[in-house]
Structure 1
Amino acid sequence: MGYPQDLLSNRSIIQHGKFALITPEGLVKNVIPGFENCDITILGSPKLGASFVDYIVTMHKGGMNTQGFGYEGVETFVYCLEGQIKASTDSESFNLTEGGYLYCPPGEKMYLENLADGDSRCFLYKQKYRPLEGHKPYIVSGNTNDIEGQIYDDMENVNLKDLLPTDDLGFDMNFHILTFDPAACHPFIETHVQEHGAYLLSGEGMYNLDNKWIPVKKGDYIYMGPYCLQACYAVGREKLSYVYSKDCNRDAVL
């Protein structure tokens, strides 16, 4: 990267346990055993206050994880941002292009391999699974381009896509894509016990985090902790879109 050409600056904001905005210009590479020929950065993690771990991964030509990602009691999810990735379990394999994803239930390892001639990029997630008697999750794969979105809270300029089943109590979390037309917004400022890790896929916006309005754009990562006030406006000429996780289907623990 070399010598800086200007004063050192960064848009990132870190409020441990509350919220965080992590921007691309400040990312550093982490060494994660099992990932070969990959640039990988840990984004959200318990050290930030999250109950999960999010990563951004650039898989160079020949990049892979043959050791397997995930372990007993931990569920995993991968979303392909660009390129072509082979995502496999011990029994199945899936060819993921942009918008493709794979969810693996606890105990089912995920194996990743870059099939592109150049780089492929993905958003990666893991979380401890909370079992529920009589219910179990299962492998789910698909592509968001094949999912018909739904109108969000009676607002036709906001679109929601659910990536995992919403009517199966075996799943204790879900991934969604929320897309705002220019000038669209949330219907109100939300306050809830669930937390999110969100990666911005396109556009620009003003995001309310803990009642602070913060500019965000494509490539940014946002962590929203439990009860963090949150809402956004889309600004500019492009749609604002992000993929995000949300815990669900479980009672609060005493």
Structure 2
Amino acid sequence: MSASYYAPKGGHPGQDQLLTDRAVFTEAYAVIPRGTMRDIVTSFLPFWDETRLWVIARPLSGFAETFSHYIMEVAPGGGSDRAETDPTAQAVLFVVEGTARLDVDGQTHDLTPGGYAYLPPDLKWTLRNTTDDTLRFHWIRKAYQAVDGIDPPEVIITNEQDIAPTVMPGTDGKWATTRFADPADMRHDMHVNIVTFEPGAVIPFLETHVMEHGLYVLEGKAAYRLNTDWVEVEAGDYMWLRAFCPQACYAGGPGRFRYLLYKDVNRQMPLTLR
């Protein structure tokens, strides 16, 4: 089945629109609905030409502490020859609209919708939009936690269409995860996956775990349990979940419910507060 990816377009609501919306920020989770991603909340970055972005997650004390998440919008001819200025930062890029020309280690890759790139720390990479169409992609960043005796991961360039999803046991194929990195590979300290629920599928218990989550809904709609609340989410919405925030999901249909999922993995817990 072909994939569908929602991406914000910006704009500005009219004066006749109601102020009420689904945006929520609590001590355990946040919901950033797609309707809040307007022109007036965009940001800009050094060394990026003809580019704006929505910052939908950043480290905050006591909340999401390990990562940042951007939705990048690059006009034709735009991009950067100095994309990352922090040598400790690793990245995942995921393209939802247009084509990204990514140059890494002297190799050029054209990432089309569904295109995924993992970029390890201390790596020079450039990205350009050489087409006549607007490019939109997700950029997830995390400071790499090095471990003595373990090398950093290698570059990964692929497309989700080339990866067979892993079906969750006992779900008859209704709940599956597209994994871009091997969960057993201890070099990785973060995973960015795509989770797919067929209509009627559920997370049948309140997951409560140490991993932080960022969830961007790529397709469909669902009722999502966050801590003590049920919230309705749809394509284009974003959710932050603190560590140990209980979560569950019911995908009511009529189509598939899919989201891009960040989580931190495979490292010892720090024994002092940062």
Give the letter for the 2:122 counterpart.
Answer: G
1:214 is aligned to: 231
Q: Of residues 130, 135, 145 in structure 1, which corresponds to 2:161?
A: 145
- Give the alignment of 1:52-71 within 5 angstroms: 52-71=67-86
User: Aligned-pair RMSD on alpha carbons?
Assistant: 1.5
Q: Cα gap change, 1:227/1:70 in structure 2, threshold over 3 Å: closer, same or farther?
A: farther
Structure 2: 5+ residue runs without aligned partners? 1-11
1:135 corresponds to which residue? Answer: 150
Check the 8 A contact 1:70/1:109 in 2, yes or no. Answer: no
Instruction: Please name the residue that 1:120 is paired with.
Output: 135
Contact 1:70–1:108 (CA under 8 A) maintained in structure 2? no
Question: Per-residue deviation at 1:7?
Answer: 2.3
**The structure with more strand, counted as a fraction of residues:** 1
Contact 2:189 2:266 in 1 (8 A): yes
1:192 to 194, 209, 221: 209
Which stretches of structure 1, 4 residues or more, deviate above 3 A after TM superposition?
none
Q: Distance in 1 between matches of 2:178 and 2:73?
A: 25
Paired residues of 2:44 and 2:51 also in contact (CA < 8 A): no
Do residues 11 (structure 1) and 26 (structure 2) align?
no
Q: Go from structure 1 to structure 2 and tell me whether the alpha carbon gap of 1:34 and 1:15 turns closer, same or farther (over 3 Å shift).
A: farther
Instruction: Measure the CA separation in 2 of the matches of 1:86 and 1:199.
Output: 23
**Cα distance, 1:59 vs structure 2:** 1.4
Offset at 1:153? 3.2
* Distance in 2 between residues matched to 1:70 and 1:99, nearest whole Å: 26
Deviations along 1:143-190, one digit per CA (max 9) or x if unpaired, are 000000111132121111101222211111111111000110113110
**Alignment gaps of 5+ in structure 1:** none
Aligned to 1:229: 246
- In 2 relative to 1, CA 187–115 (structure 1 residues): closer, same or farther, beyond 3 Å? farther
Mapped to 1, the partners of 2:99 and 2:113 lie a distance apart of 7
Query: How many pairs does the alignment contain?
Result: 253
1:78 shift after superposition: 0.5
Matched residue type, 1:184: A
State the one-letter code of the partner of 1:6: Q
Q: Which residue does the alignment assign to 1:88?
A: 103
TM-score (norm 2): 0.88
TM-score, normalised by the number of residues in structure 1: 0.94
Contact kept? 2:198, 2:253, Cα under 8 Å:
no
Taking every aligned residue pair, what percent have the same amino acid on both sides? 30
Q: Is the 8 A contact 1:37 1:60 kept in 2?
A: yes
Change over 3 Å in CA distance of 1:142–1:61 after alignment to 2: same
Does the 8 Å contact 1:87/1:112 carry over to 2? yes
